[in-house]
Structure 1
Amino acid sequence: MKNCAILLILVGMVLACGNADQDTAHSSQSLGITDDEILVGSSLALGGHAGYLGTQTLHGALAYIKHINEQGGIHGRRINVIAYDDGYDPPRCVANTQKLIIQDKVFSLFCYVGTPTTVKILPLVEEAKIPVVGMFTGANALREPLNRYLINVRASYYQETGAAVKHLVEELKINRIAVFYQYDAYGFDGLKGAEIALRAYGLVPVATGTYIRGTLDVADGLRRIMAEQAEAVVMIGTYEPCAEFITLSKAMGFSPVFYNVSFVGADELARLLGRIDAKIIVTQVVPPPEVSDSNQELWGARDYVALLKRYYPADQPNFVSLEGYINARVLVEGLQRAGRELTRETFIDAIESIRNLDLGIANLMSFSPKNHQGLERVYFTHLQDGKFIWLNH
């Protein structure tokens, strides 16, 4: 009898521990969710040399989220966003993310901006098993190997540079192509993408030049590229140093084709350059935000413009905030599909169920358990009369 009693006590302890583990798991899955709220968190540049990118990403996302909340939210819950400024600085981004996960206890992370910042939070994401939705970066490290908790929306930098190199080589008949890049994870990823694309044509960069993130020290990189008489420059940077590079190039009589990936922030680049006489191309992962009423397949861009005007009337429609808006559309779609009994895992499952979703941007969106990048299309724009417009090529 004594042995049976001990056995019963041990069984009870095991069952209690099992129930405690289940309660802990359920609790961790329910973080950031109440009867009337879903809490999501973001760390992005709201000031400093990349402040335009973070601010506009956030405004675009919030324009749609505010609209959804005014309609009653998702299954009776409003979406609330906590956003912290990281200044495009990786250590600050990590600290902000720790605060969002541990102190604020958000359900999901959302709208992170930049490669060097976002890649640094991956260990935290893995440990917390927390979704990250809609990163403003095309870095391959966030796509391969596939991570269940990373939901990429936009096309990758490899896709952007691949399309650009094809355009330069096949259509513009340019073979002498250089690469100018930010000396960090973002720049290295863009450089690799350009090298892969060039290799398909039996080419390599004729020269490379770099600058340090947060500076405008572009002169040495420019001299290296000029020395090799490049006909085109693939630029992997942000708006201020890239504008400095182009302006200095023109002043020195150097006029190649300047190509930039989408992260440059095309609208701010255009503002800095004004009506400069140069051939400048930017690939985009969203269409130009201002389209004619006759273009029926771009109804999503028109909806974005209307909501931005309503909630952020001081902002001009731009590529960056349109991307933020689309990220919010994906977040909301996943929450709606997951239903009222929401957990982080059911949310991921819901995202993976999206097939050929039309967001009105001439680019259907699909996810699956083996594919966590929703959009594939790359759009071409070029600078004309101080503004980037759709390039028919």
Structure 2
Amino acid sequence: MARSIRFCLRWALFMGIFMFAAGCDAPLGVADRPPASYQVDETRILLGSSLALGGHAGYLGTQTLHGALAYLHHVNERGGVHGRRIELIAYDDGYDPPRCVANTQKLIIEDRVFALFCYVGTPTTVKIVPLVEKARIPLVGMFTGAYALREPVNRYLFNVRASYYQETAAAVKHLVGDLGIRRIAVFYQYDAYGFDGLKGTELALRAYGLTPVARGSYIRGTLDVEEGLARIKESAAEAVVMIGTYEPCARFVREARADEFNPLFYNVSFVGADELARRLGPDGDGVIVSQVVPPPESVEMQALLPGVAEYVRCLARFFPEDKPNFVSLEGYINARVLVEGLERAGRDVDRESFIDAVETIRDWDIGIANTISFSPTDHQALEEVYFTRIEDESFHLISDWQVAGSANPPSVKRHSAEE
């Protein structure tokens, strides 16, 4: 008997070491959980999130969380969903993939959450996909446009926003087609997020017979932009596609302008537009940022779109210290999708019936000008990409690209689209 116990202990130790050495993202025990071992009782539904609540991406995580909670608090004040309150456990991962994996393991195994919700970032989110699949737990609303989370369609992953491929394709179309810019460089974060945006840009440029004239990068969590900036400046780029977060991208633009290098700077939505503008100050004028939701600060947009106006009211009610911004509006929309799925699933909800319910959402109008749709073969709700330009530290929708381009004089002569 003792020999048998010792053998079992040695075997367990060996398997633990083997799994660790293999770099397995899904810890032992997750898949062994009974399917019903999660928190849905008579009074509440428990959700879990891992996202950056501090550090160099803390603004993104905090605002995503606040936007989502604004709507969840609103729903709870009105009695919840089918008589149940929605509660959310949020852990700080600091935009660090290993911490995100550990947090997710805890949420699934110890906290026994019903679903995962509002994760932030490509390098963190892609690492927990094996956990999601093993636990067969839905993950709704990720603040990332990564292609790997969209193709092939994963039954347990629900994207709300447009992808980075869509953002960069639309940007390149305007840069090349409307402005005649052909010398385009890419500045990117050296990880899964940056690689995804870089590939999307390369694919978009290829359609015009072009490739990036230079590629510069920085390491996630650092502000080491000088080498990448030097390489891009040397290329005489007319425009720079930027795939990064607000702090290093702001430093890149400030140092470029100080060095009298003034191409057209374009950032994808994950940069955290409002925080980018705040950090750039006067140096931000002319910087372009793509968005995947309408501009919520615009009084005209609030009057035109009832869904945006409702978001502004909820945010003021529950987080009065926050200004309306693109990031928290996205979190708010994520929460609306999640609640709609729970409503459609009914009182006897489980994870699989919830997934089936979300997949029935078709052309659902939430008052943001673009309807929301899912299906078993399409787990991305929105397709629209907006373009905004920073002027006096605020954002303005671009309606005329010729005006947007001419208002930001480049450091080199632009070419016509026919050249």
Q: Which amino acid aligns with 2:331?
A: G
Matched, 1:313 2:327: no
Contact 2:33/2:135 (<8 A) preserved: no
Counterpart check, 1:206 vs 2:218: no
Which residue in 2 is equivalent to 1:367? 374
In the alignment, what sits opposite 2:63?
Answer: 56
- The AA in structure 1 aligned to 2:275 is E
Secondary structure of the corresponding residue to residue 275 of structure 1: helix
Match in the other structure for 1:281:
288
1:353 to 348, 354, 360: 360
Q: What secondary structure is seen at the aligned counterpart in 2 of 1:274?
A: helix
Residues 303 and 309, structure 2, Cα contact 8 Å, conserved in 1: no
SS at the partner of 1:105? coil
8 Å Cα contact 2:239-2:264 kept in structure 1: yes
The residue that corresponds to 1:154 in the other structure is: 161
Return closer, same or farther for 1:246/1:48 CA change in 2, 3 Å cut-off: same
Please state whether the residue corresponding to 1:258 is helix, strand or coil. strand
How large is the Cα RMSD of the aligned pairs? 1.4
Residue 234 of structure 1 aligns to a residue whose secondary structure is strand
Q: d(CA) in 2 for partners of 1:362 and 1:329?
A: 15
Change (3 A) 1:269 1:33: same
SS in 2 for 1:249: helix
State the alpha-carbon separation in 1 of the partners of residues 388 and 110 from structure 2: 42
Task: Tell me if the contact between 1:289 and 1:317 (Cα under 8 Å) persists in the aligned partners.
Answer: yes
Who is 1:137 aligned against?
144
**CA–CA distance in structure 2, aligned partners of residues 83 and 242 of structure 1:** 27
1:42 aligns with 2:49: yes
Question: Contact 1:153–1:373 (CA<8 Å) still a contact in 2?
Answer: yes
**Other structure's SS at 2:315 match:** helix
Determine if the alignment matches structure 1 residue 291 to structure 2 residue 291.
Answer: no
Identity of aligned residues (%): 70
Query: 2:387 is aligned with what amino acid?
Result: F
Indicate whether 1:376 and 2:383 are aligned. Answer: yes
* Per-residue CA distance 1:337-371 (angstroms, 9 max, x = gap): 00001010000001100000111111111000000
Contact 1:44 1:113 in 2 (8 A): yes
User: Over residues 130-182 of structure 1, what are the superposed CA-to-partner deviations in whole Å (9 max), with x where a residue is unaligned?
Assistant: 00000000000000111000000000000000000001001111000000000
- Contact 2:284 2:390 survives alignment (8 Å): no
Asked if residue 103 in structure 1 is aligned to residue 113 in structure 2, the reply is no
Q: CA deviation digits over 1:308-365, x for unaligned, max 9? A: 0010000111000000000000000000000001010000001100000111111111
Q: 41, 60, 70: which is aligned to 2:77?
A: 70
Give 1:27 shift: 5.2
1:392/1:212 CA distance change after superposition, 3 Å: same
Alignment-mate amino acid for residue 318 of structure 2: Y
The one-character-per-residue Cα deviations of 1:187-223 (angstroms, maximum 9, x if unpaired) are 0000000000000100000000000000000000000
SS at match of 1:345: helix
* Unaligned segments of structure 2, at least 5 residues: 1-30, 401-419
Match of 2:410 in 1: none
Determine the C-alpha separation between the residues in 2 that align with 1:90 and 1:25. Answer: 23
Q: Is the 8 A contact 2:277 2:284 kept in 1?
A: no
Q: Secondary structure at the match of 2:316?
A: helix
1:261 corresponding residue in structure 2: 268
Contact between 1:290 and 1:302, CA under 8 Å: does it hold in 2? Answer: no
Distance 2:114 2:202 in 1: 39
Query: What is the identity, as a one-letter code, of the residue corresponding to 2:292?
Result: V
Which residue pairs with 2:405 in the alignment? none
- Write the letter of the residue equivalent to 2:263: P
SS of 1:246's equivalent in the other structure is: helix
Q: Which residue of 2 aligns with 1:14?
A: none
Q: AA paired with 1:144?
A: E
Q: Which residue in 2 is equivalent to 1:119? A: 126
- Alignment of 1:304 with 2:303, yes or no, is no
Letter in 2 for 1:314: E
Query: Structure 1: which 5+ residue stretches go unaligned?
Result: 1-23
1:12 maps to which residue?
none
Out of 177, 182, 188, the position equivalent to 2:184 is 177
Contact kept in structure 1, 2:285 and 2:393, CA below 8 Å: no
Q: What secondary structure does 1:220 align onto?
A: helix
After superposition, the Cα gap between the structure-2 partners of 1:173 and 1:294, relative to the gap in structure 1 and judged at 3 Å, is: closer
| Equivalent of residue 88 in structure 2, options 67, 78, 81 | 81
1:391 Cα deviation after fit: 1.4
Alignment of 1:183-198 (within 5 A): 183-198=190-205
Q: Structure 2 CA distance, aligned partners of 1:25 and 1:256?
A: 54
1:381 touches 1:390 (CA, 8 Å); kept in 2? yes
Whole-angstrom CA distance in 2 between matches of 1:322 and 1:237: 20
1:271 and 2:278 aligned: yes
Please give the TM-score of this superposition, normalised by the length of structure 2. 0.86
Question: Any conservation in 1 of the 2:120–2:143 contact (CA below 8 Å)?
Answer: yes
With normalisation by structure 1, the TM-score equals: 0.92
